[in-house]
Structure 1
């Protein structure tokens, strides 16, 4: 089925899709970075609060030293960050479309 939109609209659609893709990747990288930094702050948080919640989280993520489980956990966290980035970009797109 041929595209019946004018060429300028089709080009705008491709440009918008490219922009959304780049923003989604950038937000994913930002979320992964924030997650990594947040995890590095857990021991300090435990020292301040006197609790051991951060150590428990890190112990679960360490997967008892099993490299394949650690890789699966890391991949799952990256996928989670990417899915969250998609949701954030879509919400941002809707907000921008409403304001126009």
Structure 2
């Protein structure tokens, strides 16, 4: 959508995810005009299929690609809240 070329392989999470992959917190806006939320959902599901439970997915309702352009925005505050708790689990 934004003129980025490349191989479709980058969309295949099975090439990126293994049982010992590091923890990942995926935060995706439901109204993202650049990255389809199906990609985030598929990435999260691949973690689970590979037996890796260190993946969490947050779908932010009505959020776009960048959510907010300033730090104190609602979506940024939600992300920081969940990111801190996610990171605490793996300290």
* TM-score bracket for this pair, using the shorter chain length: under 0.3
Q: Which has the higher contact order (CA 8 A, sep 6+)?
A: 1
Greater strand percent: which structure? Answer: 2
Structure showing greater Rg: 1
What TM-score comes out, normalization by structure 1 length?
0.26
What TM-score comes out, normalization by structure 2 length?
0.28
